[in-house]
Each structure stands twice: as C-alpha cells, then as structure tokens.
Amino acid sequence: MTRLVVCADAEAAAHYAAGAIHDRLAAEGERHVALAGGGTPRRAYEILAAEPVEWDGVNWWLGDERCVPSDGPDANALMVRETLGDRGTLHPVRGELCPEDAAWLYASELVAALGDEPVLDVVVLGLGEDGHTASLFPGRDEASAALAPVIGVRGAPKPPPERISMTLPVLARARYTVMLATGAGKRDALARVRGQDAAVPAGSLGDGLDEIVCDSAAAGWLTTASA
C-alpha cells in the first residue's frame, strides 16, 4: 500500500523527501538511483547534497530526459549537476540524438549495470498537472510500454517534444519509489494517482509506488500531518 505523507509546505516536503532518499543511501557499495527532473525535486536534491553520505558507489540515473544537449538549459542532467555537483556518478542521456537512439543506448547502459530486468534502489518521481510522470503522458502509447526499460518519446504535449523515459515496469520494480508533488495545481492529478486511475500513468504503479510526499496545497482536503 502506498504511504501518503502530507507536509505543511513545499520546503517541508523537500526536506522529507531528501531524508527518505538519504536513508536509502546509507549502505555501502553500489547504489542506483533514478532522479526526476523539473522544478519540484530541485530543492530536495540541494538538501540531499549537504547530507553525510558515502558518495562513492552512488549512481545517478535519469528517470527521463529531454532530447537536448546535456549541458543545455532544458536538460535534466544540468539540474542534477547544479544541485548534486560531483557527488556520485551521473549517467547522462545522449540527448543530442533522436529519441529512439538515445533511449536504446540508455537502456543498454542500464541493463549492463543492473541486468535484463533492472531493479533500482530508489526512484524519485514528479507529477505534472496533467498527470504525467517522468515523460510518460496520459493517453499516449509510451505509458503502456512494458518490454523496453527505456523508451523514446516524440510529440510530447509539454516542450521540448522529443524525450526519453524509463517505463512503468522499471519505475515500479525499484526497491523504493517515491513521488514528490507540491502546489495546488497538482491536486487533481494527485487525487487520480491515489485513486489508481489507470488513465494517469502513475495511477498504474499500484503498490510499486511506495510513498507519496506532498504539501498541504497539493493534498487539498486532506489533513496536514507533520513530517
């Protein structure tokens, strides 16, 4: 069952999420984490970067990426570098390639590291106001892809239109999958995810979504809990 944590505000939600990720990085050896892009998780990564972690062995993967140069302003890889710096090893996407080639190469790297059915230690997800997570958008075929671990996306309804994304089975198989959603604009989408509405990609994660961390604005009618 998915655990819901409602925090007072976006800052408190970022602190909680950073702490949850930190707890799962406490072990030594190889650890593999898929990070969400976009604005919501940025603060959580900044907080995490200041935590005491044995960074050797931490591998950062991108749950999704835009098909842009990895140092471009729209690249999720750039945001990860800006927030986490040289802590851990980032596996960037070849975003300068077409979506299909970039996805195939990233899937090959992921499988080489973690096997044919990759199991990540942590997956961090965001949530769009339209209900998309990673670069899996409602009503599109990519949201139901099940065989490839990473898929190319063309014509995404949110710019830039060309992207790559890990698929739902990979996101759900992780040892810990957490979704971070803040702001009143996410309220309807979050309610649909919690209702396991299959029309919303993350609604299909079921028990593969371990925890949702949100603020009171996104929670709406829910009672705020301290975190």
Domain boundaries along the sequence of the chain: 3-219
Q: Residue 221's pLDDT is what?
A: 59
The answer to whether 122 touches 59, Cβ cutoff 8 Å, is no
Question: Tens-digit pLDDT profile for the chain (227 aa)?
Answer: 899 999 999 999 999 999 999 999 988 899 999 999 988 899 999 999 999 999 999 999 999 999 999 889 999 999 999 999 999 999 999 999 999 999 999 999 999 999 999 999 999 999 999 999 999 999 999 999 999 999 999 999 999 999 999 999 999 999 999 999 999 999 999 999 999 999 999 999 999 999 999 999 999 855 444 34
CA distance 145 to 153: 11
Instruction: Give me the phi and psi of 44, to 5 degrees please.
Output: -60, -40
Q: Which pLDDT does position 118 carry in this prediction?
A: 97
Which pTM does this prediction carry?
0.95
What is the third-level CATH fold of 3-219?
Rossmann fold (3.40.50)
148 touches 107 (CB < 8 A): yes
* Alpha-carbon separation of residue 56 from 23, 29, 94, 97, 119 (angstroms): 16, 8, 24, 29, 19
Question: Phi-psi category of 115—alpha, beta or left, where left has phi over 0 and alpha has psi -120 to 50?
Answer: left
pLDDT at 183: 96
Which distant-in-sequence residues (6+ apart) come within 8 Å of 116 by Cβ?
A: none
